[in-house]
Amino acid sequence: MRLVLVGTSHHHAPVELRERVAFDADTAREVAGRLGEAVVLSTCNRTEIYVATDDPDAAEAQAVAVLAAAEPALYRLRDRAAALHLFRVAAGLDSLVPGEGEILGQVRTAAESGTPGLLLDRLFRQALHAGRKVRAQTAIGESPASVSSAAAALAAQVFGELDGCRILMIGAGEVGEQAAKSLHARGAEILLTANSKTDRGELAAQLANADVVVSSTDAPGYVLDAGTVERNRRGRQLLLIDLAVPRDLDPAIHGLDDCFLYDIDDLQAIVSETLAGRRSEAERAETIVAAEAEKFHEWHASLDVVPAIASLRARAEQIREAELKKAEGVLGRLGESERSAVESLTAQIVNKLLHLPTVRMKQAAAAADGVLYAEAVRHLFGLGEDER
């Protein structure tokens, strides 16, 4: 079984390209179901499709077709590289804000909404374990640890102290809630927490009183356009932060006098200021992630030799039982304890004979030539010949 990853992220595509392939929860679930054993991870910074398959070329072509709107910026990874990528994503090492904590929950939700089988279930469980381990053993998640807290930091840069600063929040989801908490902690006043279905007239009325607008809905179109902002802000300076993908706020707003619009990509400047202090922690996190990814690789590689190992052990046990049966005339005269001792002794001989070959086959699998070892074992011991 092979692992295929096709996706795009903020490293490869600007927000205007990423929003073309941003999926809501229902769409992500539908896409995963259509692709077979698959998981779709879609956040504001990335859309990635993970597929477990026996035909990697066909699976990759299907995933590329789903993400065709972002084709100029798609990356394609397989097996070991794909697994390591997910482990880095879960640990926050591939995020816009290194170490941000929201991605761990997003990875878990994606796995729960997908259609994982044995391979993807193990992959995502170990990726989540790696992410939790990084957060527990390093300080990479120190502030600002998410796009939400970075948005609050941006507002503080523009206005200085946020005491008395009035915020219009649009979006009642997790990102919006975290942004509201970060802003409130800095002294800001939340005027209104709305969503994409809130009456447009109510939103427009609150613009006249707001200093900052933070929007993070899953609406398919713009929640606020340039005309609405221009008519209702009454000449006030206005900072607008768009955390949504697809974008909530009309890019034309940026052209209005005294209106300052930032989208999720613009937060990179704030992130860059935090990178120096996180560099050593990121190196520690990379070491943890690499070790955890290697454990998954060894397990994945062992799948190629497990059937051969199982067949070899089954053949050895079959021979042991057959020989004991031949000796039944002699063994039948033994007492129960003596008979049990013979059974135990022969089982131990088989286990000890097969222990080292089993270990060596698993080691060979991790070194990429396990299939050759498995085939050699099948040939030497005639495994499968009875079926043929």
Residues assigned a catalytic role = 44
Q: Strand locations in the chain, DSSP E?
A: 2-9, 38-42, 46-53, 75-78, 166-170, 189-194, 212-215, 238-242, 259-263
**Which value, to the nearest 10 degrees, does the dihedral of the CA atoms of residues 168, 174, 180, 183 take?**
-120
Residue type at 374 in one-letter notation: A
The two beta strands, 46-53 and 2-9, are antiparallel
Q: Report the interhelical angle of 147-159 vs 268-302 (nearest 10°).
A: 170
Q: What is the DSSP secondary structure assignment for residue 142, as one 8-state letter?
A: P
Instruction: Tell whether omega for the bond before 144 is within 30 degrees of 0, i.e. cis.
Output: yes
Tokens 């073309």 map to which residue?
20
The two beta strands, 238-242 and 259-263, are parallel
Q: Which residues face 40 on adjacent strands?
A: 49
* Cα separation, 191 vs 327, whole angstroms: 88
* Cα separation, 88 vs 276, whole angstroms: 19
Please say whether the beta carbons of 8 and 46 come within 8 A: yes
- Residues with Cβ within 8 Å of residue 320, at least 6 apart in sequence: 346, 347, 350
Residue type at 233 in one-letter notation: R
Residue 1, number of CB atoms within 10 A of its CB:
15
